[in-house]
Amino acid sequence: MLTESIGTNRREGAFHILLLHTDVEGHQTHPLPAISVAALKELRSVVDYVALGHTHMHYEIDNWAFNPGSIEVTNISEFRETRGAFVVDVDDDNNVRAEHVQDYRQRPFQRLRFEVDNIASADVITARVLELVENQARRAEPGKPEPILEITLAGRLGIPNSLLEIKAMRERALEITGALHVRIKNHTSPVEFAVAADVEPDASREYVERRVLEDLIARDNRFRPINEKMAGLVVSVKREALAGEDPEKISELIGGGLEGARDA
């Protein structure tokens, strides 16, 4: 329909430009339906120049259809794509000469990755992430656009997610780099252990309970070396609570038990 309509309204000798805001098959950056190259080329009989948009990447088709790529990054996942604009000259015979230009100030982007495996302290994770920023992150430069940084935390996390000092890491990274924005993505996964997987089917309730507690406590790197002592403390506290013991005495039991476990 488009080819027919343009053909009906063409002006002899004019240079006909078509603007299309669409993905083209084989050149898209996301799995959405796209116009096929074959369908696009059906327009070649009536159009001298196709200016494409939508996909934020640079490509050309037969010196006839041109997609410059967005002049600015709108999503950090596309920061490696070639971007720019086309300066196009057309001669008296409607021949096209298109030059892709990039000589303007583009905002710098950077992605960093930090593996948290085998680190048992939120403080240490924070310190090492900031060490990574100090050594590898891009800095703001006078007269140029400030960078945008993305830091991904990956690997198996041996402490509760809630202990991660995300805000402190972000604020300090901003101070170090002078970035426009620092984004910290937590892609860690909790360390997974089988809970009492090796307990015999006929084991006593008390033994099963104790093993479950030991395995659950061992998930936290801070308490893994003393998981047996901590499990014993939990069992003792439960016993005293069920017996109706005074809360203050239970509190003293917990405090003394924690000190003893850590000293051990």
Q: Which of 101, 126, 158 is the last residue of a domain?
A: 101
Q: Which of 40, 67, 101 is the last residue of a domain?
A: 101
> What integer is the mean pLDDT of 11-35?
80
CA distance 38 to 25: 9
Give the per-residue pLDDT at 184. Answer: 95
Give the per-residue pLDDT at 42. Answer: 87
- Asked if residue 141 is part of any domain, the answer here is yes
Angle between helix 166-177 and helix 122-136 axes, rounded to 10 deg: 20
Checking if the pLDDT of 72 tops 60, the result is yes
Sort 96 into a burial class: Cβ within 10 Å, 0-12 / 13-18 / 19+.
middle
Q: Round to the nearest angstrom and report the end-to-end CA distance of the chain.
A: 82
Question: Same domain for 16 and 92?
Answer: yes
pLDDT tier, 204 (very low <50, low <70, confident <90, very high otherwise): low
Give the per-residue pLDDT at 187. Answer: 87
pLDDT tens digits for range 159-202? 888 899 999 999 999 999 999 999 999 988 766 544 565 666 55
Which residues, including other chains, have CB under 8 Å from residue 136's CB and lie 6 or more apart? 112
Residue in the block written with tokens 């074959």: 38
Give the per-residue pLDDT at 193. Answer: 46
Give the per-residue pLDDT at 27. Answer: 72
- Asked if residue 224 is part of any domain, the answer here is yes
Question: Same domain for 84 and 6?
Answer: yes
> What integer is the mean pLDDT of 122-147?
95
Question: Same domain for 113 and 95?
Answer: no
Residue 75's CATH number: 3.60.21.10
> What integer is the mean pLDDT of 75-91?
84
Residue 26 has a CB neighbour count (10 Å cut-off) of 10
Give the per-residue pLDDT at 132. Answer: 97
Domain count for the chain, please give it: 3
pLDDT tier, 30 (very low <50, low <70, confident <90, very high otherwise): low
Question: Same domain for 13 and 75?
Answer: yes
Q: Which of 190, 215, 246 is the last residue of a domain?
A: 190
Question: Same domain for 209 and 243?
Answer: yes
Confidence (pTM)? 0.55
- The answer to whether 150 touches 76, Cβ cutoff 8 Å, is yes
Question: Same domain for 69 and 118?
Answer: no
Closest CA to 109 of 71, 143, 151, 150: 150
| 170 backbone dihedrals φ, ψ, rounded to 5° | -65, -45
CA distance 233 to 188: 30
- The answer to whether 62 touches 38, Cβ cutoff 8 Å, is no
pLDDT tier, 152 (very low <50, low <70, confident <90, very high otherwise): very high
Closest CA to 239 of 222, 224, 257, 261: 257
- Asked if residue 153 is part of any domain, the answer here is yes
249: region left, alpha or beta (phi > 0 left; psi from -120 to 50 alpha): alpha
CA distance 110 to 211: 46
CA distance 18 to 31: 24
- Asked if residue 199 is part of any domain, the answer here is no
Question: Same domain for 252 and 235?
Answer: yes
- Asked if residue 197 is part of any domain, the answer here is no
Give the per-residue pLDDT at 263. Answer: 65
Name the residue range of residue 230's domain: 205-263
Give the per-residue pLDDT at 127. Answer: 97
Which residues, including other chains, have CB under 8 Å from residue 253's CB and lie 6 or more apart? 233, 236, 237, 240
Give the per-residue pLDDT at 111. Answer: 92
Question: Same domain for 165 and 226?
Answer: no
- Asked if residue 65 is part of any domain, the answer here is yes
Helices vs strands, H then E, count in the chain: 7, 11
Question: Same domain for 11 and 80?
Answer: yes
Question: Same domain for 22 and 88?
Answer: yes
Give the per-residue pLDDT at 32. Answer: 65
Question: Same domain for 133 and 182?
Answer: yes
Checking if the pLDDT of 11 tops 60, the result is yes
> What integer is the mean pLDDT of 228-234?
88
Tell me the percentage of the chain whose pLDDT exceeds 70: 90
Which residues, including other chains, have CB under 8 Å from residue 260's CB and lie 6 or more apart? 229
- Asked if residue 82 is part of any domain, the answer here is yes
Give the per-residue pLDDT at 202. Answer: 59
Select, from the ranges 38-42, 123-127, 245-249, the one with the highest average predicted confidence (pLDDT). Answer: 123-127
Question: Same domain for 159 and 69?
Answer: no
- Asked if residue 198 is part of any domain, the answer here is no
Rounded alpha-carbon distances, angstroms, from residue 92 to 15, 46, 48, 86: 10, 18, 13, 19
